[in-house]
Amino acid sequence: MAPNATMQALVYNGTPYNVTIANVSRPTIQNHTDAVVRITTSAICGSALHFYHGLMGGTPPCVVGHEAIGHVSAVGDAVSSLSVGDYVVIPDNAAAGHLEMVPEALNSFGGGTGLGGLQAEYARVPFADDSLIPVPLTHETTNSSVERDYLTTGDIFATGWSAIDYSGFQPGDTVAVFGAGATRNGGIGQIGVYMQQETSPAAPLGDSIPQNVSFAISDFFLKHLRYEAGIVDPKVLAPQLVELISAGRARPSFISTAEIRIDEVPRYYERFDRKENIKVYIHFP
């Protein structure tokens, strides 16, 4: 790579409702356990709107985004399970690189405080052996459709799957979903509905709810209801989700409502914020 090489990326500059495309420094190997991934498809997630609204983020300017798929372009000396050219999904969080004896803050991509975002042409991934999700693609077999499928294993497919696990639902159950965006409003979203109806004789019912909801704790208690939640670890779920896609049993990219170029992203953030799109994929040539 040429010295001072740059790449195109989506950047939040600290002004709410304003993101721009900028040329920023291309990431390089910094530690022996790093990998650099050439991103071919990224996506806009509902969580990215927290940046867009100015509600979170680090010191601007910062690159946004935490969902991507691509191929490995460089590896550190200590990376043992990956090679240049391998296709991988970058999940929303990277591995910590050590055994966690107590809960720790997640090492998230695009959080503005550490790792760079994934709405960019390249990304550096620490502890690559434990962070990246290998997928059965090559330069010859990949295409935009299957990349969109596999990309979801790094966030929204894993989130929907986990929500069904947490819910305790069983095959054959009829379910109602409140907040049926991709993963919006705390609901399991359309991905979760899609997977549940594979084994359900009755179609799940979905609805959307406002972002701010008053919670009637007394009524909740008297009706003997149960609330359950938890952290999603895409890397743990990846083997079964990747297998479902590769076997043709799951096509989670049905959630897509737009496929765009990097230069179109600022305009599509506006559309996404107005809820005119559910899931937007970004393709890099």
- Domain match, 52 and 93 both: yes
| Res 226: pLDDT | 81
Same domain, 73 and 53: yes
Q: Are residues 131 and 173 in the same domain?
A: no
144, part of any domain: yes
Q: Is there a domain that residue 261 lies in?
A: yes
Q: Give CA–CA dist 57/109, Å, rounded.
A: 11
Q: 6 pLDDT exceeds 80?
A: yes
Does 186 score more than 60 pLDDT? Answer: no
**Total domains, the chain:** 2
Give yes or no for a contact between 87 and 69, defined as CB atoms under 8 angstroms apart.
yes
Following CA atoms 169, 175, 179, 184 in sequence, which dihedral angle do they give, to the nearest 10 degrees? 40
Compute CA distances 135 → 20, 27, 218, whole Å: 31, 22, 47
Please state whether beta strands 176-178 and 258-261 pair in parallel, antiparallel, or not at all (unpaired): unpaired
- Classify residue 217 by burial, with Cβ atoms within 10 Å: 0-12, 13-18, 19+: exposed
Of the pLDDT bands very low, low, confident and very high (cuts 50, 70, 90), residue 101 is: low
How many other CB atoms are found less than 10 A from the CB of residue 102? 4
* Same domain as 278, residue 148: yes
pLDDT band of 1, cuts 50, 70, 90:
low
Residue 105 has pLDDT above 60, yes or no: no
* Domain boundaries, position 199: 157-222
Predicted confidence at residue 100, as pLDDT, reads 63
pTM of structure: 0.82
- Could you give the percent of the chain with pLDDT greater than 90? 52
Distance CA 80, CA 35 (A): 11
pLDDT digits 0-9 by tens, 266-276: 999 999 999 89
3-state SS assignment for residue 149:
helix
| Cα–Cα dist 275/12, whole Å | 20
Residues 108 and 180 occupy one common structural domain: no
Question: Residue 153: phi, psi to the nearest 5?
Answer: -65, -20
Q: Is 49 domain-assigned?
A: yes
pLDDT of res. 244: 94
pLDDT of residue 122: 97
- Looking at per-residue pLDDT, the higher value among 188 and 167 belongs to 167
Two tokens, residue 215:
């919670």
pLDDT, position 203:
46
CA-to-CA distance for 188 and 195, rounded, in angstroms? Answer: 10
Residues 211-219: contacts with CB within 8 Å, 24+ apart?
Answer: 211/185
94 closest CA partner among 112, 73, 110, 76: 110
Same domain for 275 and 178: no
Q: What was the pLDDT predicted at 202?
A: 46
Is residue 12 located within the same domain as residue 96? yes
Residue 234 phi/psi, 5-degree rounding, is: -55, -35
**Section 162-183 average pLDDT:** 75
Tell me the pLDDT tens digit for each residue of 196-242.
Answer: 545 544 444 444 555 566 778 788 889 888 888 788 889 999 999 99
Buried b or exposed e, range 117-136, using 16+ CB within 10 angstroms? bbbbbbbbbbbbbebbbebe
Whether residue 27 has pLDDT greater than 50: yes
Domain check: are 193 and 67 in the same one? no
Specify the pLDDT at position 187: 34
